[in-house]
Chains A and B, each alone.
Chain A
Amino acid sequence: MTNPAYQDDEHYVAPFSEDTQFGELKDSAPAAKYRPSVTGWFGILVVGFWILIAVLGPFVAPYGENDLPFPDAYSEFQVPQPGAWLGTDVEDRDVLSRLLFGAGRTLGISITATVMAYFLGVVLGIGAVVAGPRVDLILSRINDAFLSLPTIMLGLVVVAAVGSSIPVLILTAGFIYTTIVFRLARSIGMEIVVMDYVEAARARGEGLWWIVTREVWPNAALPLVSDFGLRLIVVILFISSLSFLGLGVQPPQADWGSMVRENLGALQYGASVVPVVAPALAIASLTVGINLIVDDVSAGAGGKLAKRM
């Protein structure tokens, strides 16, 4: 199998000299390059758009998240019109503004929780591998118990116990998905730790810290980072589902999942469907966008990751 990247002119390096780095050698593997396909670009465009909105949303929103565009009139579920470009919701508020405010909340909570899950999962997972069989056994058994529960049930139990707030949501989702990252990080670590180069480092007498940061982590990083996107999708769906059930972000704060729930009545009364469709479409486009990117990247990298979801 020939790798087209080898044939590129840009990979041609002048003959070996004193200060040539290993990565510059002609025979070294080329730095991994991701060239998005059409669907990949589409995903990047959509996700980039939502990240931009998440950051800028509150500044460009025409109204505050609880302001009424038509304060003088009875204006529940108005159709889109000048002054309220996506219409109004069940409590007469501007749907567009709430969507813009909700973007930061939905994305912010999900990304923070995913990062937390990754940090804990990777530290514990690789820690379990290098700390030896006894620690590994204890951590893995505890992890298996949590993994055998439906995630939404864990979420419901926690919310029932301590109530719902944004920090609780982040911690809950973070801990729940730590279990999955732990398993992944552990299995990748297991493969790596038996490699000859780790053994060589041990034989050299390197310490635990050195082995983890210099030998195990660089080799585990790529598969873990690629899995991050899939995990992010699952966390966004988890948070949105909790909010949709009325157990996530609490009113009057706007969040995409809770917006769908608040405005479900619009479908029943035959009023404007935009207040329901807009937030549902926002979540779907975001998660599908991420999925398209992950699919595209993993297709380029051999296509194994998409199956793990």
Chain B
Amino acid sequence: MPLPVGGGDAVTAVAFPGARRRTRGGRLLSAVMPGAPQLLVGRFGAGLTALLVWVGLLAVLVLRWDRVWAAVRVSSGASLDDRVALVTLVAGLAAAWVWSFRDAGKVQELRWVGVSQWVLAGRAFSRNRLAVLGAVGILILYLVALLAPFLSPYDPSALGDLLTERLVPPSTAHLLGTDHFARDVLSRVLYGARISLSIGFVAIGISVTIGTLLGAVAGFFGSWVDTVLMRIVDMVIAFPQLVLLITVIALFQPSIFLIIAVLGLTQWTGTTRLVRGEVLSLREREFIQAAGALGFSRARIIFFHLVPNVLGPVIVAATLGIGNTIVLEASLSFLGLGVQPPTPSWGTMVADGRSLMLQAWWLSTFPGLAIVFTVLAFNLVGDGLRDALDPRLRR
């Protein structure tokens, strides 16, 4: 691997003489304004993120002090949502501050010898501006989702005055307007982040777990196990997914858990094929042969030797998969099979508002944009990871 010398990007910048001096003096600055010292030495990605998190969370703390205080008081009857938001707020502030403080004091050094593939990949990733942008976007999304109770101006499911406040265009009172129940669209978009992100995350968690396990087992054992599992995979792929989704949703009563389960249980085939392929080639490698020769149990070989080595492509597939799942949920909503009201999910909001695109464009446009940018962020990160994790694609 050739040394990545030169280039004006973030990581190499600190290797220049003088960078050290400036970072060392940054500790004091970082105590007041985390992220600033990193920004000063040109590490825009990390610095800006820390700064944004710090300033953003402080702003929430100050501007929404009443709600934060209500969540702090034990007797206030705050809900679990509020408590989670509180913890996120405190943890986010602490993390930004501590990271920046320690980072600013650390002597930045570049070690080129003996670094792991993961470190190399990390460096490759951080040079990809779009991917970093995506990663920052995802971070912000999760913060927004967790902090929704503090951020949202109104209760997302409280009906407003149907006669006067229905379908009001964006205004200062309702930044993104109101829907046909006179509910605040901004609040619903904020709360919707939780639903859409959870669906994507949990469903893909399920499918990746199943896919990795089955793929590893099929690849490792080979022979009839492989044949049977792969025929099952063929069958699931050839099974019309929409028919399955609709029938299952007709069989059981639609709920968010059902949607997650269905989405998770139908998407694992890609991962299985991917992992199987990787394992088939890994199986012949010396370190696996050695593990076998040492008498390790098959489970140990699969979980400790094979699975860690296929994680790269799996992580890429999972990241891309989260985006796809969020889009899929929206598509299900179009058919009326998505997350059911009054739970605010972006997919349902877009689908419900679509027939009023001309009369009340804000109904479906804002949640629609939320979907696009979220999925975009996951895809950018996924593509960045793919480039970074695959030595053949790395620059």
Task: Tell me if chain B binds chain A.
Answer: no
Interface residues of A (CB under 8 A from B): none
Interface residues of B (CB under 8 A from A): none
